[in-house]
A = this chain, B = another copy of it.
Amino acid sequence: MDNFFSTRHSVRVFDNRPVSRKVIEEILKAAIHAPTTGNMQLYSVIVTDDVDGKSKLAAQHFNQPAAVNASAIITFCADYNRFEKWCLAREAKPGFNNFQSFVAAMLDATIVAQQFSVIAEMVGIGTCILGTTTYNANEIGELLSLPSRVVPVLSLAIGYMRDDEPDSPTERLPVDAVLHYGKYSDYNDNDIDRLYAEKENLPENVEFVKENGKKSLAQVFTDVRYPKSNNEIFSTKFIEYIIKQGYNL
């Protein structure tokens, strides 16, 4: 079991058997027992498994391989719409048009997505999170006809794992890089050197730096993968969409 979690990794190329709706529903039936704020289940799960729908969605995820190859793209949304409709139908005055409510719904959606992912992996279905969901939340919201108070926060590309899917995990920092006892103990230059040494010296990362013509792996992240200008554009876009969907910020 330990080994199951320690060797898991995201899957971006899938076997071509489709994952049936019945299987998706069974996984979700188990996953909804994941924790949720006040048992309100502040999320909705939208499954896109038709060719046309997938290709339109994949475009909003910059046609990254996992999205293009997926048997289904599942979009997990922060959702106060259903709960609020219930309140209004029961003479209860909802007060959820605010940031704290959005955050609760975002936590709920993220948690159920991760639970879905774990259960899927246990039955041989690979998954890859599409972190681009919050970049193009408005375009995705339009494709999926999301009403007010519903905001996509995370998507999973899913498909059966290939028989020859390697059992090797992606490298991570040593556990003491992220673990603190009692208080946060901040990092000095020596800590940083020590904690990032293994990652920086991995042959594939050394190669990655060379390919990108950069001086360090960190520069690939700041200049190529997550440049400040992009982060700022997508921040403004996402904030505007959250407000449009009815959460004051």
Contacts and interface: CB of A to CB of B under 8 A. Distances in A.
A7 interface: yes
Given A150-B184, A192-B89, A222-B92, A98 B35 contact: no
In the complex this chain forms, how many copies of it are found?
2
A172 B12 CA distance: 32
Given A46-B180, A187-B82, A41 B172 contact: yes
A219 interface: yes
Interface in A111-128: 111, 114-115, 117-119, 122, 127-128
A87 B33 contact: no
A94 B192 CA distance: 15
Nearest to A46: B180
Interface of A: 1-2, 5-10, 21, 25-26, 28-35, 37-41, 43-50, 53, 77, 79, 81-83, 85-87, 89-96, 98-101, 103-104, 106-107, 110-111, 114-115, 117-119, 122, 127-129, 131, 134-135, 144-147, 150, 153-154, 169-173, 175, 177-184, 186-187, 189, 192-193, 195-196, 215-219, 221-223, 225-229, 231-232, 234-235, 238-239, 248-249
